[in-house]
Chains A and B, each alone.
Chain A
Amino acid sequence: MFIRKQLPVLVGFVGGIIVLGGFFLTDPSLRKAASTVVSWRTTLAAFALVLGAMNLVKVNWNRASAGKPIDRLAGLALLVPLVIMVVIGLTSGTTAKVYAYMYDNVYRSGAATVFSLNAFFVVSAAYRAFRIRNAHAALFMVAGLIAVLGPASIGAYLWGQLPVIADWVLKVPSMGATRGFEIGLALGIVSMGARTLLGIERGYFGGE
């Protein structure tokens, strides 16, 4: 029970206090210790990436071996390139030409294409769904037009004052809202951090 409950809290508390101390205090040995703890965290994160990949393989292996035909295809579509890239990376290294070729001509092209499709969906959605039915929708439309057209070159072409208004929107109301959000978020993080350090927040135990 100690190993499952108290020990993780103790490790988290000690590690957290060292890192916090290293950030706020100037003692060189404390800073060195904090730096060491942080470097452990980056190593753990690298292992987490491997763990994530293994989980991905497990889930998609199950899909590919026992799912519907479309699920099998989807599972294989993920597993085959993943295995190919891992094999190339392990045998030739990630700086090899063949690795760069696969990255550029498979991953990069595919990911950019999928992301670019958003533009087509936006146009279609703008035409079909954006109906100005009330004052709120009209206000949203005007604000959207200013925010979208202002920074674009066509904005200055249509009306010279549009970039000026867009800049004002960005630097006054938008910045005010962002600051409020950031401050709220920071307070939330401090609160959550304190709860985690003290062992009150135990979500990372996996729901037990």
Chain B
Amino acid sequence: MIVHFWKNYNAMFRLLWGIFIAGCIVFLGANLHVSKLQTNLFELLPGNSSDTVPSAVLDAYSERLSRKVAFLVSASSDPAAQVGADRVHAILSESRLFNAVQFKITEDQIKSIYSLYRPYRHVLLTDHDRQEILHDKNYLLNRLSSNLASPVAALNSDLLKDDPFLTYRAFLNSLPAGNPRIEIIDGYAMIQESDTSHVFISAELNGSPFDQAIQYRFDTLLQQVTDAIEPGAVSVEAHGVIRYATENRKLAQSEMMVIGTGSLFGILLIFVIVFRQSFRLLLILLPVLTGMIVAVSVSLLIFDNIHLISLVFGVSLIGVSIDYALHYSCANSNLTSFKDGNSALRAVRPALTIGLITSIAGYATLAMTDFPALRQMAVIAIAGLTAAYLTVVLWLPMMISQPLVIREPVRNLAIRLTTKVSSISKWPVWWPILLITVVMLVAGLLRSENDDIRMMRASLPQLDLVDSKFRDLLGEFPNSQYVLVAGDSPDEVLERERALLKHLRSNSGSELSGRYEALSDWLPSHQQQVRNLSLYTSLLDDQDFVSRFETMGLPMSLIDHYKTQTRLQGTEFLSIDRFMDSPPGRLKRDNWLGKIDAHYYSIVRLYGVDRLDVLSDKVSQAEQVYLIDRTTSISSVLGIYRQSIEKMFPIVLVVIFLIMIFRFGVSGAVRVLGTPVLAALLSFLMVILILGHYNLFTIFGLIITIAIAIDYAIFVYESKEGSSGTYLAISLAGITTVLAFGLLSLSDTPALMTFGLTLLFGIVFAYFLTPFIVKQGEK
């Protein structure tokens, strides 16, 4: 009756579990959307660390910048380069891939700039003129005299009528010249070398460079451009984020194809080689599948969105759960004496349960940190592993009830392996402790962390060459860093920007070199325009000034006319809206972010600024001005996570150790936990010796190593002495892990390579150390 009751009870749980899984699938169907996937690395920071500047502001600018593409058309002469540029421009315009293509500077464009400023010339003064006037009220007249005296001043009556004090001319001359190496020749932006002429074309994509559709179209466009130009005579290079994004995608896809296919094929092949009823082995993947479904569902329920890093790492942890199914399958096989799935399950359930409990305890400890990603990883791992466990315990005995048949050669090999392992003398319990201590000391001495995100991206030498070519030609290159200026109004932003630039430029040539590009170079703030008007008015009302003006031979009518004009200026000032709507304003779009979340923001771009520490120091003295260095910030986020995990993990191990003491006693716990810890430390040492440094991805690999190796140790400890199924299962688990993750060590992406290499060494060490440290059947 009890058996009958238990069977019904079990059946009810199986049904409930099936309903739960179905519910998760429905939930995912309704809620899983790409918008739920968080990719902003700054969201990984705990608390309000990322709130100094709203991420929307930085994302807006990064998005805009990432759409820029520069083309370089080169030929042996100016005309040939210009003809080539004409052809390229035609193709770019027809492609409908770009919002804007900056190609030629026409006289009409330049005249439109003049038309913008002319009505406001009475409120436009350069900083230099303003300072000089305040110092000496006769400055303008002195300058006028010098110009009249000069044989080359290009001064005529028409000019003087419009601009008697030459302040407007000075203002126009002060507008930024941009890169000093670029010249406008016949309207084309060109750089001339001794034997080569280059034309620059800049364009802005009308979509994200990370959009695959855009990338495909861009690839097609590049091919069209190559086909259109004269080979050998004209060359075209393209530079921009889209090139790197495309190549990285291709690399990732290629690796996924090779490594992913290789892994899957290898795993299936192993299963086919080992088991006779191979098709049923697809059921072995069921716990992993249900684990992922439940993990993502629970995560979305708790957090509303999941960070990409949490998802990738969490899913990797769930992949470990294939070991649960493998242990069950090997127990329920012709290697053991169990008659059916339930009996096999009863044998392995204690080990499965201990393995799950220790994992949950470990990840639960990680979840107690302030770091959002660690909490998410912990939830994903706990939910996923629990789901995998329940699937194995509730469903596999029903789905794979009859013992699996292991092929004879493999069976014999497993028996011989088990015999061999059993005959190995186990090390005394203090050996693992000693070895751990020694390896820890050595690793501690050699350890060298490198959290720089740039070290983690794939090397693309062809694109790096193009990058170098652009840098060499331009002589300077835009920094990836920039300065963000915030304010409650556009005017406040412009005033702050102006004050900052004055401070930075007055220090140029000393310890701070480089060029700055800012909106306030083109548009004085409203307050500044008002001050300029006031200064003009005060000069024109000064009798001495006016008398001297007349003495120089200039007519009073000119002064009167100018006075009238300044009075008429009244409230007519050049506004931000008017400016941004004009041709020069459209060129400066990248320097103005506008209003985001009730504040206004502008960007000061940096070119060739190398002393960022000095710049950072100066920027920090200004109110609501920030030096943004996303690359360094991202690197520091990764570093913070690495350090946090390094601090937390010993605590995690202590918690697991204490739990193990209840089951295995102190000596047993030392052996069971000591093996994975030693394997992980040895792997860590190998990675440092081979790569010279380690990073967050190394730590991820070590965590998974320990998670897998703990299961090895627990299963060996909990299994009966001489049980061949255990070592077969561990061998299969090791091989599948190597195939699934270890092959990542072949990746060209350093982050993945580090992760894969760490796991590869870790699993190998764990596999070979376990027989020496953990005795089968000791429980």
Bound together: no
